[in-house]
Structure 1
Amino acid sequence: MKIIVALLIFGVIITFHELGHFLLAKKNGIVVTEFSIGMGPRLFSKVYHGTRYSLKLLPIGGSCMMLGEDEINDNEGAFNNKNVWARISTIFAGPLFNFILAFLLALFVVGMVGYDPARVVNVPEGSAGANAGLQVGDIITEIDSENVVFARDISTHFDFKPIKSQNPITVKFKRNGEKLSTTLIPDAEKRYMLGISYSPDSQGEAQITLLENSAFKDAGIKNGDVITAVNGTEIKTSADLSSYLGSHPLDGTALSVTFTHNEKSNTVNVTPRMTEWYTIGFNYNQGYEKTGVFGVVRYSISEVRYWIETTVKSLGKLFTGKVGADELGGPVRIVSELGNVVDAKEDIGIKNVIIILFNWGILLSANLGVMNLLPIPALDGGRLIFLIIEAVRGKPLDREKEGFVHMLGFIALMILMVFLFFNDIKNVFF
């Protein structure tokens, strides 16, 4: 069942992408030879106005086949015979429709659970936040020139740009509708740390993310593993983990940590590290609040923006070598994660499972849109680069040479997919 759900999610996202190409192709008078839902052998097909509409056996995507897209054709409706702007809009429509789908899914999620305002909820006396003049109730709107809409924008900012010194941080915020700005000097302290992050108020399972130089990583625990016990105390939720660590301060003594990795339970000893730690000196909201109709639309747009920016930043870490190849995830790992969500229906309820799956849909659709816009041959972004060059030059590049470049890009993508497949198998099953 969980594999079927995962395949359906992938199928809807990819089909919506192809629908974008299809609609703009029709709009621009480009002949679409076949539009299909699914892949593999045809289960059903019908030709209508020159286009074959097909339903295929495997629910793992779809396709939009255009006349003359990859070969020379004299038909005036062939893709390469249309003006360059018609071709640009047709190619760009695929990624654009992924962003539109992400927005539609976000409307449902934000409408159901609301949004997480970046509201200050605690400012300890004498802390960096207090010295900067922040007060409970302030709404953070910007950190070091990066916009903040959600509370998670704050944590994401520092995930990608960890505080490593007491260099000043510019914080903009609203107080009673007034826009204000301040400079915050991070607090510096040394304490024992485990090197993990998680949602401390969540009633979901205690799934962790490893931070830089994590003690958990040294013990063999991986990103996404779930903590189920610490020193013999059962941990059912992230809130349980937060409660345990809050009542048992770390002092350098090794902890016995039980965790599950791909439904296999393991117990290891984790020794906290003395770490120089920098803090912003205030706590911000971790919960969600409902909003009105206009708020739902506004924050749904921001939700898509959040995942686009997160994807771009993640790619930046990948291309600069800050993320190792073993941390890359492909379809197998995603199917595994989606399967874990489906399996949790008895613990968290069908409603929450649906909301989480929709959240995954937002993430994956926005991710696919961004990835397809990368200037890599064979992807939409690579095709757009050639078309933009044609628009600037006033004439196309050599078709055969362009086709050869796209073929090389396709081969490189297939090699990457094979690597991701085996990398997923290693991380998911071993």
Structure 2
Amino acid sequence: MKIIIAIIIFSGIILFHELGHFLLAKKNGIIVTEFSLGMGPRLLSREYKGTRYSLKLLPIGGSCAMLGEDTDEEDVSGTFNNASVWGRIAVVAAGPVFNFILAFVLSVIIVGVVGYEPSTVLSVKEGSAAEAAGLKKGDVITSYQGYHIDLGKDLYVYSYMNELKEGDTVNLTVKRDGEKKEISYKADTNVRYLLGCNFTGDDSAPMTVESVMAGMPLEEAGVQAGDVITSINGVRISTSQEYQDYIREHPLDGSPVKITWKHEGLEYDDTITPKEYRTADSGFSYNIYCEKAKGLDVIRYGAVEVKYMIRTTILSLKELCSGKFGLKDLSGPVGVADAIGTTYEESRSEGSVMLWMNLLNMAVLLSANLGVMNLLPFPALDGGRLVFLVIEAIRRKPVNRRIEGTIHFAGLMLLMVLMVVVMYNDIVRIF
């Protein structure tokens, strides 16, 4: 079922994208030879008023093939190159624009049903630098470190991609009682002492090690995943709850502790020194939960949701170019289909309304993402074609069609190689 849902979402987004090209081509008198959904051999096909409408085997991609699109024909009526340069710009840009329109319509539905996430301060830590600087519960954050904030998740994404560091200054703009206030303070520092592992099971289960962190004390002592911690400083530990109770009464402070653990039926012990772990703390928590939207706010926050999706995509691309993200972090059709399937499986228990809202949210993300990616000035993409058309509009003379075609073909080959690499990563990640 989840595969069928993924195909439906993919197909709907691609169909709407190609519909943009199709409608603007017709509007500008360009003959559309084929309008297809999918790639590969045709499964179904019908010709109507000079256009062949096709459903193809592979449910990824689609096309709106226009007469003379990739040839030198300029004097033949109805060809792509015979249309005005601004008409061709409109045709090429229409695909991504229609993706943004689809994302907006779906976002309005989501906001109308579920609501939006105002960036409201929920709490300010007592005695923190944020409290001393005047930040208060109920303030609405409109800017963080110079980054405009519309929603709580705007702040979450920016904070995730730009981690606050020890000694950093936090710069906020907040709205309070209709007035804007500028707040600035140096982030607090949290100091914790860690042994360096994660545990499995519930509170009543034994202290089984799920994973050991590289370079941390427990790894250096020889503890491995699957081992069971049985005592700390001579105090017997039978369950996770007993461990938590002990740490609450005897917090780790950098002093050596004696750990006993069981590995393959044998008990081992060692005295280890917890490692200091320092993190910056903004001193406040903020809202990432939905509130009901009223009246025209539904339309306003529908647009804000699309803006959030577009900005998140652009931020991710920026991190990819800077090297913070790598190819392993990219997902192609296989990875996206798996994510849609996971969303479907996890949302079923929340009821049909939330199930559909979560799936629509995935569709908004994908549609906005497709719009942004297609506008990138890379050969073979809509953005790459727009670059050549803008140059033509400025020069009042087209770039040599053969040179342009060669560049787009080379770009297409690179995209195909990237798709294969990303698809391989998706399969490895899943299985």
Q: Would the TM-score normalized by the shorter structure come out above 0.5? A: yes
- My pick for the range that moved more, 334-343 or 355-364, is 334-343
Does 1:151 pair with 2:152? yes
Aligned counterpart, 1:104? 105
How far did 1:145 drift? 2.0
Between the aligned partners of 1:272 and 1:332, the Cα distance in structure 2 is: 42
| Residues 362 and 216 (structure 1), Cα distance of their counterparts in 2 relative to 1, 3 Å cut | farther
Cα deviation per residue 1:236-269 (whole Å; 9 max; x = unaligned)?
xxxxxxxx99997684999x9xxxxxxxxxxxxx
- My pick for the range that moved more, 107-116 or 30-39, is 30-39
Equivalent pair of 2:347/2:358 in contact (CA under 8 Å): no
| Residues 279 and 382 (structure 1), Cα distance of their counterparts in 2 relative to 1, 3 Å cut | same
Between the aligned partners of 1:405 and 1:246, the Cα distance in structure 2 is: 65
Equivalent pair of 2:32/2:50 in contact (CA under 8 Å): yes
Equivalent pair of 1:21/1:93 in contact (CA under 8 Å): yes
Aligned counterpart, 2:27? 27
Task: Report the 3-state secondary structure (helix = DSSP H, G, I; strand = E; otherwise coil) of the residue aligned with 2:172.
Answer: strand
Does 1:314 pair with 2:316? yes
- Identity across matched positions, percent: 49
| Residues 344 and 168 (structure 1), Cα distance of their counterparts in 2 relative to 1, 3 Å cut | closer
Q: Which amino acid aligns with 2:342?
A: N
Aligned counterpart, 1:427? 429
| Residues 376 and 338 (structure 1), Cα distance of their counterparts in 2 relative to 1, 3 Å cut | same
Equivalent pair of 2:189/2:281 in contact (CA under 8 Å): yes
Equivalent pair of 1:12/1:61 in contact (CA under 8 Å): no
| Residues 332 and 278 (structure 1), Cα distance of their counterparts in 2 relative to 1, 3 Å cut | same
Between the aligned partners of 2:212 and 2:385, the Cα distance in structure 1 is: 44
Aligned counterpart, 2:125? 124
Task: Report the 3-state secondary structure (helix = DSSP H, G, I; strand = E; otherwise coil) of the residue aligned with 1:122.
Answer: strand
| Residues 217 and 332 (structure 1), Cα distance of their counterparts in 2 relative to 1, 3 Å cut | farther
| Residues 54 and 331 (structure 1), Cα distance of their counterparts in 2 relative to 1, 3 Å cut | closer
How far did 1:46 drift? 3.4
CA RMSD of aligned residues (A): 3.1
Q: Which amino acid aligns with 1:177?
A: G
Q: Which amino acid aligns with 1:275?
A: Y
| Residues 306 and 7 (structure 1), Cα distance of their counterparts in 2 relative to 1, 3 Å cut | same
| Residues 103 and 153 (structure 1), Cα distance of their counterparts in 2 relative to 1, 3 Å cut | same
Which entry has the higher C-alpha Rg, 1 or 2? 2
How far did 1:192 drift? 4.3
Q: Aligned runs of 1:37-52 on 2, under 5 Å? A: 37-52=37-52
Q: Aligned runs of 1:407-426 on 2, under 5 Å? A: 407-426=409-428
How far did 1:287 drift? 1.8
Cα deviation per residue 1:63-82 (whole Å; 9 max; x = unaligned)?
21111111133422111111
- My pick for the range that moved more, 300-309 or 283-292, is 283-292
Aligned counterpart, 2:238? none
Aligned counterpart, 1:362? 364
| Residues 34 and 150 (structure 1), Cα distance of their counterparts in 2 relative to 1, 3 Å cut | same
How far did 1:357 drift? 0.9
How far did 1:13 drift? 0.8
Aligned counterpart, 2:18? 18
Task: Report the 3-state secondary structure (helix = DSSP H, G, I; strand = E; otherwise coil) of the residue aligned with 1:288.
Answer: coil
How far did 1:97 drift? 0.8
Q: Which runs of 5+ in 2 are unaligned?
A: 198-210, 217-227, 230-242, 262-272
- My pick for the range that moved more, 119-128 or 297-306, is 119-128
Does 1:87 pair with 2:88? yes
Equivalent pair of 1:13/1:61 in contact (CA under 8 Å): no
Between the aligned partners of 2:44 and 2:72, the Cα distance in structure 1 is: 29
| Residues 248 and 59 (structure 1), Cα distance of their counterparts in 2 relative to 1, 3 Å cut | farther
Q: Aligned runs of 1:145-294 on 2, under 5 Å? A: 145-192=146-193, 251=252, 274-294=276-296
Q: Which runs of 5+ in 1 are unaligned?
A: 197-213, 220-230, 233-243, 257-270
| Residues 149 and 133 (structure 1), Cα distance of their counterparts in 2 relative to 1, 3 Å cut | same
How far did 1:293 drift? 2.8
How far did 1:167 drift? 3.1
Within the candidate set 288, 293, 298, 1:296 is matched to 298
| Residues 360 and 68 (structure 1), Cα distance of their counterparts in 2 relative to 1, 3 Å cut | same
| Residues 95 and 154 (structure 1), Cα distance of their counterparts in 2 relative to 1, 3 Å cut | same
How far did 1:162 drift? 1.1
| Residues 272 and 416 (structure 1), Cα distance of their counterparts in 2 relative to 1, 3 Å cut | farther
Within the candidate set 329, 332, 353, 1:330 is matched to 332
How far did 1:427 drift? 0.9
How far did 1:336 drift? 1.4
How far did 1:176 drift? 1.0
- My pick for the range that moved more, 162-171 or 245-254, is 245-254
| Residues 5 and 195 (structure 1), Cα distance of their counterparts in 2 relative to 1, 3 Å cut | farther
How far did 1:274 drift? 3.2
Aligned counterpart, 2:53? 53
| Residues 419 and 182 (structure 1), Cα distance of their counterparts in 2 relative to 1, 3 Å cut | same
How far did 1:283 drift? 1.2
Aligned counterpart, 2:385? 383
Q: Aligned runs of 1:398-409 on 2, under 5 Å? A: 398-409=400-411
How far did 1:309 drift? 0.6
Equivalent pair of 2:328/2:422 in contact (CA under 8 Å): no
Aligned counterpart, 2:140? 139
| Residues 97 and 340 (structure 1), Cα distance of their counterparts in 2 relative to 1, 3 Å cut | same
What TM-score do you get using the length of structure 1 for normalisation?
0.80
Q: Which amino acid aligns with 2:414?
A: A
Between the aligned partners of 1:287 and 1:121, the Cα distance in structure 2 is: 11
Equivalent pair of 1:21/1:64 in contact (CA under 8 Å): yes
Between the aligned partners of 1:57 and 1:412, the Cα distance in structure 2 is: 23
| Residues 215 and 373 (structure 1), Cα distance of their counterparts in 2 relative to 1, 3 Å cut | farther
How far did 1:216 drift? 6.3
What TM-score do you get using the length of structure 2 for normalisation?
0.80
